Amino acid sequence: MAFYAEQDGQVTGYCLGRIGSHYTQIGPVVADHLDIARDLFLSALQQCTRQAVIVDTPFHQTEWNRFLHDLGFEEQRPFI
């Protein structure tokens, strides 16, 4: 799966995902602003109805990690 956002004819973000054998993985999510990343992620998440979802996210992305936690995601393993 793939999603992108654009403004004034310029790509401002994208989100990729894939279905794996045990989980659907969303990511990477790359965007100019956090609100764009949130919208892209939520669009991808709406497509995930068959399996549990995992996301790799850098530890230093505090606001992003808070957003994921508020959605019910929990850290499973460290990602550097």
69 burial (CB, 10 Å; 0-12 / 13-18 / 19+) is exposed
pLDDT for 79 = 65
pLDDT for 59 = 81
pLDDT for 78 = 73
Question: pLDDT of the chain along its 80 residues, tens only?
Answer: 999 999 999 999 999 999 999 999 999 999 999 999 999 999 999 999 888 999 988 888 999 999 999 999 998 877 66
pLDDT for 57 = 87
pLDDT for 60 = 86
Apex 1 CA angle, 34 and 40, nearest 5: 15
Q: Say how far residue 9 (Cα) sits from the centre of its chain.
A: 23
